[in-house]
Amino acid sequence: MTDSNLFEQQAKNRRRSAWLTAGFVVFTAWVGFGGDLGIYLATKDAQEGYRHVVPIIGLVLSLLAGTIAWRSWAHGAEQVLRAAAASELVEPATPEQARLVNVVEEMAIASGLPKPRVWIVPDSDPNAFATGKDPTSAHVAVTEGLLATLDRDELQGVVAHEMAHIRNYDIRLMTLLAAMIGAILIASDLMRNFIRYGGRLGRPGSSRGGGKKGGNPLALVVLGIWLLTLIVAPLVTRLLAMSVSRKREFLADATGAQFTRNPMALASALEKLEAAVGATRSIAKGAAHMCIVDPGQRVLGGKAGFRGLGSHPPISERLARLRAMSFLPNRSPAVLSE
């Protein structure tokens, strides 16, 4: 199977990262220039008042998109860590932190990768994520709740899972997705402020100069498509991130089990994380796809019947695959049929 070829998956993730960046810039340009086109068509026949000629919205948003894409590439990891209020673990202050550093060093050796920088997220809900551009600039972050909840073998399974994301270049793709989801949400919110203004411009017949009554039909169509784009863009972007994340989690589980040679350690950790049905409030929704389990409420997202509502595949399916790697029967076959 293609997913078993790790080198092909790494190359595919690099290509996806490039296409994602290009698509983001094109989409943001459409949001800008599409609005300019609609407003231009709505005002071109006006005898008095404002005529929209210079595509200022498109120029500004295109420049903004290019800047955000570059910052996402150069500083996306730092932005994600800052948003989670994570602090770097340099000198362990507790036995749990010393154990974490030791486990990260072990998994770096097992995976053949440089040791990533280690971060602690001040949150009582157990979770973890990896971020960065490539294996040489990678970061692994875990919550305080994870350190308190898992034993050493389980922690090793989780860290191995995150090291798998680093090795497979998932971190580059996921970091770009997190940064661009945030940027699209901001752009969408900003452009919604033009809705009332655009609505008035779409009725040029109301101007005292006596334009065409009823407005320009083409302008109304363009503005309608433009406004629809603003409404659905955040949802479509999040669904894209969830789709990518669900596929990558299965591969990271398998690769992590290869590093530890103990699939049941990760399975045990996932069971404990599933039992914590609260939310990891320190991690923003836009970065949900980066975590080992969905940082939101896991009551629905973790069920097989609600796979479309979560940023991750159902934990029951992940457990079944890990148990199969250990040649153990699935202990809860009924869960998979829900």
Do 63 and 97 reside in the same domain of the chain? no
Q: What's the CA gap between 109 and 128, in Å, rounded? A: 20
Would residue 255 count as lying in a domain? yes
Which pLDDT band, with edges at 50, 70 and 90, does 251 fall under?
A: confident
Number of domains in the chain: 2
3-state DSSP assignment of residue 121: strand
Same domain membership, residue 114 and residue 168: yes
Same domain, 109 and 135: yes
Do 166 and 35 fall within a single domain? no
DSSP β-ladder status, 139-143 and 128-131: antiparallel
| 48 included as an active-site residue | no
Q: What is the reported pLDDT for 106?
A: 97
Q: Is residue 115 part of a domain?
A: yes
Strand, helix or coil at 53? coil
Q: How far is CA 133 from the centre of its chain?
A: 14
Using the 3D structure, point to which of 200, 216, 241 is the last residue of a domain: 241
CB-CB contact of 139 with 119 (8 Å): yes
Q: Is residue 230 part of a domain?
A: yes
Residue 108 lies in a domain: yes
Contact 140, 154 (CB under 8 A): no
Determine, yes or no, domain membership for 265.
yes
Q: pLDDT at position 148, please? A: 96
Does residue 69 share a domain with residue 16? yes
Amino acid identity of residue 216, one-letter, is: N
- The per-residue DSSP string of 261-321 comes to T-HHHHHHHHHHHHH--S--TTS-GGGGGGBSS-SS-HHHHTSGGGGGGSSS--HHHHHHH
Contact 23, 15 (CB under 8 A): no
How far apart (Å, rounded) are the C-alpha atoms in residues 6 and 254? 11
* pLDDT for res 1: 41
Same domain membership, residue 199 and residue 99: no
Q: Which domain holds residue 180?
A: 2-77+173-241
Chain centroid offset of residue 18 CA: 16
Is residue 62 a contact partner of residue 92, using CB atoms and an 8 Å limit?
no
**Looking at the structure, do residues 153 and 272 belong to the same domain, yes or no?**
yes
Task: Judge if 193 and 282 occupy the same domain.
Answer: no
User: Which pTM does this prediction carry?
Assistant: 0.71
- Give one word for 261, left, alpha or beta, with left for phi > 0 and alpha for psi -120 to 50: left
Cα angle: 52, vertex 226, 308; to 5 degrees: 160
CB within 8 A of 201, min separation 6: which ones? Answer: 39, 42, 43, 50, 52
Q: Is 277 exposed, middle or buried (0-12, 13-18, 19+ CB in 10 A)?
A: exposed
Which one of 144, 162, 274, 317 is the catalytic residue? 162
Indicate whether 69 and 104 sit together in one domain: no
Q: What is the DSSP letter of 89?
A: -
Beta bridge pairs of residue 121: 143
Query: Has residue 228 got a pLDDT over 50?
Result: yes
Strand 117-121 and strand 139-143: pairing?
A: parallel
Residue at token pair 């092909």 = 8
Q: Does residue 82 lie within any of the structural domains? A: no
Domain final position from 216, 241, 266: 241
Q: Are residues 117 and 168 in the same domain?
A: yes
Q: If you average pLDDT over residues 183-201, what whole number do you get?
A: 61
Residue 215: which pLDDT band, with cuts at 50, 70 and 90? low
- Residues 269, 168, single domain; the answer is yes
pLDDT at 152 over 90: yes
The Cα–Cα gap between 72 and 79 comes to 8
CATH number of the CATH domain containing 328: 3.30.2010.10
Identify the domain boundary among 193, 213, 241.
241
Confidence of residue 325 (pLDDT cuts 50, 70, 90): confident
Q: Which amino acid is at 192?
A: R
pLDDT tens sequence across 256-275: 988 999 999 999 999 999 89
d(CA 293, CA 282): 14
Same domain? 7 vs 144: no
- Model confidence at 109, in pLDDT bands (50, 70, 90)? very high
